[in-house]
Amino acid sequence: MLVALLAGPLLGEWVGLRRFIAIAVGFVGVLIVVHPGVGEFHYAVIFAFGSMLAYAFFMLLTRFLAAHDAPLVMLFYSVLLGAFGLAPFALWNWVWPPDATA
């Protein structure tokens, strides 16, 4: 839903009204399945929203760069950025195996 909302202002690819209504109805269906009823707000929702926002911008950036770079180049740089960007978190949580057979 966020990609459809941001594609118009950022890429000039506007979504029609019927398609946007279909996306909104699907999103409401996802909300019902994920959390039926009304309850308390858990702080972990903020992490899920941040993840959704980052993935939406990744999708929009990929769409924008598709006109300028080859697919393998974009794949290489996204993997490289992910590896170096997430390496500190992986090293921070690293646990050595007890022996070579584990």
Q: How many CB atoms lie within 10 A of CB 72?
A: 8
Reply yes or no on whether the pLDDT at 102 is more than 70.
no
pLDDT in tens, 35-88: 777 777 778 878 888 998 999 998 898 888 888 889 899 889 889 988 998 899
Which letter does DSSP use for residue 16 in this model?
P
pLDDT at 21: 93
| Tokens linked to 75 | 């794949």
pLDDT at 32: 83
**78-to-33, 67, 81 alpha-carbon distances in Å:** 32, 16, 5
Indicate the domain borders of the chain: 2-92
CB 59 within 8 Å of CB 13: no
